[in-house]
Amino acid sequence: MATTAFDPFATFVHLHAKGEVNPVPWTPGFWRELTTADGERVVGAKHGRGASDFHPSECEMHPCGDELLYLLSGSVDVVFEEPEGDRAVPLRGGEACIVPRGVWHRIVMHAPADLLFVTPPKGTELRPARGR
């Protein structure tokens, strides 16, 4: 494959377990159509301009690995659902956090933000946030 520039906010990158890397254009059905194996990751970026852009009332959980969230700009809280209650980790532009495997989490935006993520998509589950 030839090396060309692409917009990381419009193209995700599929990191295959055996070392191959494929850019994949983002489409509304991207996550439903994606097929992955154990050990694979997807790298992507998302603009957050409105409160709903990071699904603050919906949680996700990745059973097949940890997720890296790197906030390029803006202000968000990464909210972890823990047995004793929700715990918010504030991120400001230039900061990152790791979401451990199997932990339900969501993102609440406080100021327009750009987020880069490296996620293990296999088996990811979504559900409404606790108390929503």
If one counts the domains in the chain, the total is: 1
Let me know if residue 4 belongs to a domain: no
6-18 pLDDT, tens digit each: 999 999 999 999 9
Within a domain: residue 121? yes
54 located within any domain: yes
- Which whole number is the average pLDDT over 66-94? 97
Q: Decide: 78 and 107 in contact? Cβ < 8 Å.
A: yes
- How much of the chain exceeds pLDDT 70, in percent? 98
Residue 74 lies in a domain: yes
Distances (CA, A) of 60 to 4, 19, 101, 117, 126: 32, 26, 11, 13, 4
Residue 2 lies in a domain: no
User: Residue 100: which domain range?
Assistant: 11-127
Rounded to the nearest 10°, the torsion over CA 29, 35, 39, 41 is -30
Q: Does residue 6 lie in a domain region?
A: no
- Is 3 part of any domain? no
Residue 105 resides in a domain: yes
Q: Give the CATH number, domain containing residue 80.
A: 2.60.120.10
Poorest-confidence range of 9-13, 24-28, 64-68?
Answer: 24-28
